[in-house]
Amino acid sequence: MCGLKIPPQVIKQIDVYRKHCLWSKGGINRKGTCLVAWETACKPKDQGGLGIIDIKSQNNALLLKFLDKFYNKNEVPWVQLTWSKLYANNQTPPYSRSPVGSFWWKEIISLFGNFQTIASCRPNKGDTISFWTQPWTGHDQVLKDRYPQPYSFTRKQKCSLQYLNKL
């Protein structure tokens, strides 16, 4: 779960087995009656559920850790290799023209929308931060929404902080 995105069909089949285990009272061929809806059973305990983990959400959360390592340029070999081979032109993903890399990396980059909603930027070198479209630490709004007038005049709307420092 922490390395690959699980296909929806596999998640569905795992949920079938989990439901069967929960409601069949241990008999492998015995049909049990559901005592509560599955959606209710998956709610946290403090909300009246049984706290059963949603596999899709858990899988996405574990995969988002890769994006955190990537954008913070952790000292991990795959991070350095990905930056040097796929993004040597300093185009910050996912803003490049089309997704590049292996099927695994394309799946990870497809989670960028989720990552962007929970992450905030703390500028350092500025090469992984989009100046106008990413929220900065301490601000709730992105700069393009906070300052629409200057944003309307910009020529390069998807530029990074590093690009602005070179000007």
What pLDDT shows up at residue 19? Answer: 82
User: Is 71 within a domain?
Assistant: no
Task: List C-alpha distances in Å: 84 to 70, 78, 88, 131.
Answer: 12, 10, 5, 22
User: Is 148 within a domain?
Assistant: yes
- Number of domains making up the chain: 2
Burial of 127 (0-12, 13-18, 19+ CB in 10 A): middle
Tokens of 89: 């032109």
What pLDDT shows up at residue 63? Answer: 94
User: Is 125 within a domain?
Assistant: yes
Query: Alpha-carbon distance 132 to 156, whole Å?
Result: 10
pLDDT of 164 strictly over 60:
no
Model confidence, pTM: 0.67
What pLDDT shows up at residue 58? Answer: 93
Tokens of 88: 């040597």
User: Is 1 within a domain?
Assistant: no
Of 155 and 52, more confident: 52
User: Is 72 within a domain?
Assistant: no
Q: Give pLDDT tens digits for 15-47.
A: 888 888 777 665 666 666 667 788 888 889 999
Of the three residues 53, 74, 89, the one that is the final residue of a domain is 53
Q: Give pLDDT tens digits for 55-69.
A: 999 999 999 999 989
- Owning domain of residue 29: 8-53
